[in-house]
Amino acid sequence: MDKKICTYICTGCGIGEALDIEALSGVITSEMAQECKTFANLCSPEGRAFLENEKKAEGINTFTICACSPRVMQSEFDMGDDTITVRCNLREQVVWAAGEPEEGQEEYFKEWLQETASDYARMACTRAAKTEMPEPYEMESMNKDILVMGGGIAGITAAVEASKAGSKVTIIEKTDVLGGKANGWVKQFPTSYPYAELEDNSIASMIAEVEADANITVKTSTEVARIGGAPGDFQVTLKAAGTKSEWDAPEKVGVDEQDLIDKGEMEDPNAGLKPYGEANDGADVFGAVVLATGWIPADVSEYEHLGYGSNDKVVTNAEFEAMAKNGQLDGLNRVAFVMSPGAEDNDQDFPYANSVTSMVALKQAKYVRENNEDAQAYILYQHMRTPGNMELFYKGVQMDDGIFMTKATVTGIEGGTVHAKDTLLGEDLDLDVDLVVLAAGMVPTTRDESTINLAYRQGPAFLDLDLFDGYADSHFICFPYETRRTGIYACGGVRKAMNMQETMDDATGAALKAIQSIESADRGVSVHPRSGDKTFPEFFFQRCTQCKRCTEECPFGALDDDEKGTPLPKPSRCRRCGTCMGACPERIIGFKDYNVDLIGSMIKAIEVPEDDDDKLRILIFACENDAYPALDMAGMRNHKFNHMIRFIPVRCLGSVNMAWIRDALSAGLDGAMLLGCKYGDDYQCHFVKGSEIANTRMANIGDTLSTLGLEPERVRSESVAITDYDKVSELVNDFVDEIVELGANPFKGF
Amino acid sequence: MNVQPDLDFIRYLKTAGGDTMKKCYQCATCSVVCPLSTEEHPFPRQEMIWSGWGMKDKLVTDPNVYLCHQCGDCTAYCPRGAKPGDVLGAIRAYAYSALGWPTGLAKLASSAKGLPMLIAIPSVIIFVLWAISGGMTIPGSEEFSKYGYQHFFGHWDFHWLSKNVAFIDFFMLGAAGLAVFASFKGVTTLWNSMVEREGVDSNFKPSLNQMVKEFLWPSIIEIVQHSRFKECITNRDREVGHKPLMWAFGGLFVVTVWSAFANDVLGLWVPSLHGPMSVWNPVKILANVSAVAMIVGCGILWMNRAEAEAKDNLTPTFFDWFLIWEIMAVGATGLLAEVARWAGLAAPGYILYFIHLVTVMMLFMYMPYTKFAHLIYRTTAMTFEKYRDSSFVKNPLDE
């Protein structure tokens, strides 16, 4: 595409009054040698008509809009698929963030503001010149079918919902029947108003619906050996449940481990298995996968004072359900339900218990009562959790004459007597019962096994699930069904202990996300959080040194590799965060509109005045997801930002290549800061690992700077949440003050 | 504590106005808003879970249950609609009949099912006595205006005891005697169990004199002054009704004692004291004022209760209504019988007088088992409350 670039300065929203627009146009036309026009308010219908005319009459296809933040007026300045729009944030981050002149600085105030605006214009013009038209990645082959792993309520619902939306679905189920855990239930929680009474188990009708659906194929007694490929083209090798196969997913073997294996010092965990990268011609192909493998009952034998395993009057809730299903409740006149292990100072519930186990206790107490009208059920809880409409279910159960509840710390079970203290009854409690039921939790299948069995370079399992106690939860902001493997969506008990209705909602969401990911792969665009992004990382392989940093660091495992270690990108797995680009020491990875050279050139476009301590230049790379909006919000509230700051938005801190920091400091800029999301256990990074990786890189570059004779304090990484808009100006201004203390970069002028 | 929930007790409470008790989720709002609940002995939060758990023994011996004046503040503020006030009322209904003697009669008085029997017993007794007394006739207007109802059971010439008085004493004193004995039994049982539950050290027993002076008398003063009733916010008007009603009972007690004394003792020497009193006789004025106060007070309580029930702030129960009906019937029949006498309407007058006798006997006889029993049990609990906080029970050196 031949680019025809023009810059448009909007003089609305106070920009025209605060800045010398003529001088600013001068910078663009003379210094940057680009066309420049001004308009009173570009976002108005007149402005839009003006821009459209520019496109039609003048043939402009690259619009540099010097106006408001790129986060606002997006449709107003979207000039069509055949055009590029570059936004220059003169409003929120220059004019509105200028504040009032400080004492003694009045005469320089205008001058400084003009310099800031000019630098942003220079960067925008550079960006416009360097941005190329993105072309979506085209898959070689495309399959739109959905694989659902697990035939319980979650799997069945996902399959039915996907089918209703027009997809072809295959359900695989490990056991020989569909239905999963629900097959063992006597009754189910209420699903409709007034939510007060248990309902008959509806799993049979749900199974019948699946079996009658021509779009759904059911394979029972089947497991996944491995899943290779990428969204739109997953190569899934199935096998008979419980068998071993040479196509079972191999463990990740790192470089060091491979060394040991080669030397014979370590056993190869993957002996007898096909390498992860090998294609299986006999594999089934799917476009996306819904993981609905559910949960297994937790083990409660560790609590000796409760006597599970040694006292035959103590059973788990799962065992009690089976007893009820098999009609073995006769003779049970007094049953205690123990919701928390208790003992000394322990108000925790059983591990992996949550609201569902609370409700199961309520349900099973009802079984006791319905079996015998004179029977009594005691529920001893530390926490009674019945969220949403289930509060009505709780109320319904509460009204039963023979169900007795109290908060209590169970101190022991001896024979048929339950001892409890700290009860609401005001005294320690001894209950003589015929049976004690322990509210064992629901352990996700992903806690102990990889379950999803991926044939990916980064290994067969989801990463870092220990952060979520083994639940297949990505902690993606706003999108809980997402996993760190694009095209694979977890739902139901494997993701969180949930009741039937929650599971069905969850499964519906996961099915729709699966369809969305297939459609996005088909169009060659990204899924959440950069939904619709047409760019993807492109590699200049001739210069690749097989250092494996990109393949290791990619948070989404989007890069496989060949035997030599050269990355094999799978663009439909990619979320376009750019972490690979930030990792690459050879700077050979980039996007059409975002690459090392482009940002590097923008940095170089910043004018660096010499010998003026009032004109230091501090570069701040701000993550587009949270930090940049926080800066915008601060600007909207007219929080003052120091005039020496220059912000550059980045896709994720993970994409920040340390070359930019080095270039900036060697170009004479005085400091650099990375502003991104919180990392660690409660991370908020939209790409999961980006800010964490950037922090490690920054620690390393600090060392490098000190060898160059620069203070490591000149670079820093900070985390902010989107809600920190009230603190962010102080945070960055303080950094500027520290740099001013350090004085100008000694490299200035070299 | 080994807990054995009593399902039958729970079922009973549910029929006696406590149908909402299981809704309680133990937030303790009730104990906070209750104006009578104290920091050391808060209620009714714990009473709610005890009733939910069917722990009747804990409840029957619990002073808090009787201290409650059912003002309804807890019910008004309960976020779950568990109506603690009504639940405590139901517990009291159960407790009065559990403490009652003889058990069969106590049970009979505890539900609407027993109502026909409750009316039939005194009706039959009085009718049979009337029948065998030889009274059995409706007097002529002259006799009626001269003697009023004093020849209801006929007349004999035995100077020292008139026939009417002999008959009335026979069944009224019988009924009252039964009530007194049953009350004594009930109060003793309750007191002993409260003492036992509190773990009182029997080495420091107050004398009867101390007991009356230090604990019972101050409680009676409190009751007469209605000081606890006045704490109530939600059903503030109950005090307005209860006060005249209580004074009316006091007034009628004085009148009854005086007329018995005047008629049956002084009358032996001063014959003019026999026969109906003049309307301007101070005693008669007191009687009439008290009767009106009784009807007015009872009427106010009636209206309050009906209004609160309409607002779903109270649950209608036989236990509550029976006493209101009873007292209203006593007051109304008494007053109407008097009016009939003035009007010289002998036949309607005699019928009204008959009903009046029946209702008064019911009031006496069933007192220990019906809501009327709060008279003795609440007084007992208030006395105990003071005793509990005294240095007889609490060693001040331990504080």
Q: 3-class SS at B343?
A: helix
Is B98's Cβ below 8 Å from some Cβ in A? no
User: Do A426 and A488 fall within a single domain?
Assistant: no
Q: Which two tokens stand for residue A262?
A: 């080669």
Is B197's Cβ below 8 Å from some Cβ in A? no
Q: Which two tokens stand for residue B270?
A: 């001063």
Number of folded domains that form chain B: 2
- Closest partner residue to A376 (CB to CB) among B5, B11, B46 is B5
User: Do A239 and A306 fall within a single domain?
Assistant: no
- Closest partner residue to A401 (CB to CB) among B10, B26, B55 is B10
**Over chain A, what is the mean pLDDT?**
94
**What pLDDT, on a 0 to 100 scale, did the predictor assign at position B154?**
83
Is B253's Cβ below 8 Å from some Cβ in A? no
Domain assignment present for A534: no
Distance from CA of B200 to the nearest CA of A (A): 19
User: Do B134 and B164 fall within a single domain?
Assistant: yes
Is A430's Cβ below 8 Å from some Cβ in B? yes
Cα separation, A426 vs A423, in Å, equals 6
Per-residue pLDDT at A182 exceeds 90: yes
Per-residue pLDDT at A389 exceeds 70: yes
Domain assignment present for A138: no
Q: Which two tokens stand for residue B163?
A: 């026939």
Is B50's Cβ below 8 Å from some Cβ in A? yes
Domain of residue A426, CATH code: 3.50.50.60
pLDDT digits (tens, 9 = 90+) for B223-276: 999 999 998 888 888 889 999 999 999 999 999 888 888 877 887 888 777 777
Distance from CA of A357 to the nearest CA of B (A): 19
Instruction: Say yes or no for a CB contact (<8 Å) between A425 and B25.
Output: no
pLDDT digits (tens, 9 = 90+) for A228-243: 999 999 999 999 999 9
Q: What value does the mean pLDDT take over residues A466-473?
A: 90
User: Do B76 and B176 fall within a single domain?
Assistant: no
pLDDT > 70 fraction of chain B, expressed in percent and rounded: 99
Q: What value does the mean pLDDT take over residues A181-207?
A: 94
- Closest partner residue to B49 (CB to CB) among A376, A395, A425 is A425
Per-residue pLDDT at A477 exceeds 70: no
Q: What is the DSSP string of B52-119?
A: HTT-HHHHHT-HHHHH-----HHHHH-TT---HHHHHHHHHHHHHHHH-SSHHHHHHTTSGGGHHHHH
* Strands A233-240, A284-286: pairing kind: antiparallel
Nearest to A461 by CA among A295, A270, A252: A252
Is A406's Cβ below 8 Å from some Cβ in B? yes
User: If you search the block for the tokens 């459209």, which residue do you land on?
Assistant: A52
User: If you search the block for the tokens 């105030």, which residue do you land on?
Assistant: A109
User: Do B143 and B43 fall within a single domain?
Assistant: no
Alpha helices in A372-403 (DSSP H): 390-398
Domain assignment present for A574: no
User: If you search the block for the tokens 């009609």, which residue do you land on?
Assistant: A327
- Closest partner residue to B23 (CB to CB) among A399, A407, A424 is A399
- The gap from C-alpha B24 to its chain's centroid, in whole angstroms, comes to 29
Domain assignment present for B164: yes
Cα separation, B321 vs A444, in Å, equals 59
Q: Which residues contact A80 (CB under 8 A, 6 or more apart)?
A: A55
Amino acid type, A490: A
Per-residue pLDDT at B162 exceeds 90: no
pTM of the model: 0.88
Question: Kind and range of the H or E element at A171?
Answer: strand A169-172
Domain assignment present for A351: yes
Is A411's Cβ below 8 Å from some Cβ in B? no
Q: Which two tokens stand for residue B179?
A: 């009530």
Domain assignment present for B153: yes
Q: Which two tokens stand for residue B288?
A: 């009439």
User: Do A191 and A228 fall within a single domain?
Assistant: yes
Domain assignment present for B395: no
Q: What is the DSSP letter of A101?
A: P
User: Do A227 and A84 fall within a single domain?
Assistant: no
Domain assignment present for B202: yes
Q: Considering only CB atoms, which chain A residues are within 8 Å of B14?
A: 401
User: Do A59 and A106 fall within a single domain?
Assistant: yes
Is B52's Cβ below 8 Å from some Cβ in A? yes
Domain of residue A435, residue span: 299-440
Per-residue pLDDT at A709 exceeds 90: no
Is A416's Cβ below 8 Å from some Cβ in B? no
**Beta carbon pairs, A and B, within 8 Å:** 48
Per-residue pLDDT at B150 exceeds 90: no
**What pLDDT, on a 0 to 100 scale, did the predictor assign at position B165?**
84
Cα separation, B367 vs B353, in Å, equals 21
Domain assignment present for B118: yes
Contacts of range A182-185, beta carbons closer than 8 Å, 24 or more positions apart: A182/A152, A182/A153, A182/A206, A182/A500, A184/A318, A184/A321, A184/A322, A184/A325, A185/A321, A185/A325
Is A427's Cβ below 8 Å from some Cβ in B? yes
User: Do B128 and B273 fall within a single domain?
Assistant: yes
Per-residue pLDDT at A677 exceeds 70: yes
Is A425's Cβ below 8 Å from some Cβ in B? yes
Domain assignment present for B398: no
User: Do A83 and A182 fall within a single domain?
Assistant: no
Is B327's Cβ below 8 Å from some Cβ in A? no
Is B10's Cβ below 8 Å from some Cβ in A? yes
User: Do A156 and A253 fall within a single domain?
Assistant: yes
Q: What is the DSSP string of A555-615?
A: TT--EEE-TT--EEE-GGG-----HHHHH-TT--EEETTEEHHHHHHHHHHS---SS-TT-
User: Do A95 and A122 fall within a single domain?
Assistant: yes
User: Do A195 and A281 fall within a single domain?
Assistant: yes
Cα separation, A264 vs A257, in Å, equals 10
Domain stops at, among B34, B66, B99: B99
pLDDT-based confidence at residue A1 (cuts at 50, 70, 90)? confident
**What pLDDT, on a 0 to 100 scale, did the predictor assign at position A476?**
65
Domain assignment present for A110: yes
pLDDT-based confidence at residue B201 (cuts at 50, 70, 90)? confident
Domain stops at, among A508, A523, A538: A523
User: Do A172 and A225 fall within a single domain?
Assistant: yes
Instruction: Say yes or no for a CB contact (<8 Å) between B22 and A399.
Output: yes
**Over chain B, what is the mean pLDDT?**
91
Cα separation, A655 vs A598, in Å, equals 13
Domain of residue A718, CATH code: 3.40.50
Domain assignment present for A338: yes
User: Do A427 and A457 fall within a single domain?
Assistant: no
Q: What is the DSSP letter of A282?
A: T
Domain stops at, among B99, B125, B159: B99
Write out residues 370-399 of A within 8 Å (CB-CB) of B. Answer: 374, 376, 395, 398-399
Cα separation, B178 vs B199, in Å, equals 32
Cα separation, B341 vs B330, in Å, equals 17
User: Do B264 and B346 fall within a single domain?
Assistant: yes
Nearest to B33 by CA among B78, B65, B66: B78
Is A402's Cβ below 8 Å from some Cβ in B? yes
Is B5's Cβ below 8 Å from some Cβ in A? yes
Number of folded domains that form chain A: 4
* Three-state DSSP string of A734-749: HHHHHHHHHCCCCCCC
Q: Considering only CB atoms, which chain B residues are within 8 Å of A376?
A: 5, 7
Closest residue in A to B47 (Cα–Cα): A425
Domain of residue B54, residue span: 7-99
Cα separation, A122 vs A115, in Å, equals 10
Ramachandran area for residue A245 (φ above 0: left; ψ -120 to 50: alpha; else beta) = beta
Instruction: Say yes or no for a CB contact (<8 Å) between B7 and A402.
Output: yes
Is A415's Cβ below 8 Å from some Cβ in B? no
User: If you search the block for the tokens 């008007």, which residue do you land on?
Assistant: B237
pLDDT-based confidence at residue A618 (cuts at 50, 70, 90)? very high
Per-residue pLDDT at B60 exceeds 90: yes
Domain assignment present for B2: no
Q: What value does the mean pLDDT take over residues A454-474?
A: 92
pLDDT digits (tens, 9 = 90+) for A46-97: 999 999 999 999 999 999 999 999 999 999 999 999 999 999 999 999 999 9
Cα separation, B6 vs B12, in Å, equals 10
Q: Which of B2, B43, B49 is most worth mutating to test chain A (most A CB atoms within 10 A of its CB)?
A: B49
| Whether the Cβ atoms of residue A347 and residue A353 lie closer than 8 Å to each other | no
Is B15's Cβ below 8 Å from some Cβ in A? no
Residue B328, class by beta-carbon neighbours within 10 Å (0-12 exposed, 13-18 middle, 19+ buried)? middle
**What pLDDT, on a 0 to 100 scale, did the predictor assign at position B358?**
96
Domain stops at, among A110, A133, A156: A133
Q: What value does the mean pLDDT take over residues A169-186?
A: 96
Domain stops at, among B99, B115, B141: B99
Closest residue in A to B27 (Cα–Cα): A424
User: Do B86 and B115 fall within a single domain?
Assistant: no
Is A407's Cβ below 8 Å from some Cβ in B? yes
- Closest partner residue to A425 (CB to CB) among B11, B25, B50 is B50
Q: Which residues contact A595 (CB under 8 A, 6 or more apart)?
A: A130, A581, A589
Domain assignment present for A430: yes
Q: Considering only CB atoms, which chain A residues are within 8 Å of B8?
A: none
Ramachandran area for residue B246 (φ above 0: left; ψ -120 to 50: alpha; else beta) = alpha
Cα separation, B335 vs B252, in Å, equals 12
Per-residue pLDDT at A681 exceeds 80: yes
User: Do B110 and B230 fall within a single domain?
Assistant: yes
**What pLDDT, on a 0 to 100 scale, did the predictor assign at position A374?**
94
User: Do A285 and A199 fall within a single domain?
Assistant: yes
User: Do B86 and B142 fall within a single domain?
Assistant: no
Beta carbons within 10 angstroms of residue A69's beta carbon: 23
Cα separation, A466 vs A448, in Å, equals 10
Instruction: Say yes or no for a CB contact (<8 Å) between A401 and B7.
Output: yes
Domain assignment present for A71: yes
**What pLDDT, on a 0 to 100 scale, did the predictor assign at position B142?**
84
Sign of the four-CA dihedral A353, A359, A365, A370: negative
Is B23's Cβ below 8 Å from some Cβ in A? yes
Domain stops at, among A523, A538, A570: A523
Instruction: Say yes or no for a CB contact (<8 Å) between B7 and A374.
Output: yes
User: Do B91 and B111 fall within a single domain?
Assistant: no
Cα separation, B63 vs B83, in Å, equals 19
Distance from CA of A401 to the nearest CA of B (A): 7
User: Do B94 and B203 fall within a single domain?
Assistant: no
Residue, of A475 and B2, whose pLDDT is higher? B2
Distance from CA of B315 to the nearest CA of A (A): 17
User: If you search the block for the tokens 């006997």, which residue do you land on?
Assistant: B361
Beta carbons within 10 angstroms of residue A512's beta carbon: 16
Bridge partners of residue A650, in order along the sequence: A623
User: Do B121 and B63 fall within a single domain?
Assistant: no
b/e map A211-242, b = 16+ CB within 10 Å: eeeebbbbbeebbbbbbbbbbbbbbbbbbeee
Closest residue in B to A426 (Cα–Cα): B46
Q: Considering only CB atoms, which chain A residues are within 8 Å of B26?
A: 407, 424
User: Do B272 and B351 fall within a single domain?
Assistant: yes
Q: Considering only CB atoms, which chain A residues are within 8 Å of B5?
A: 376, 402, 404
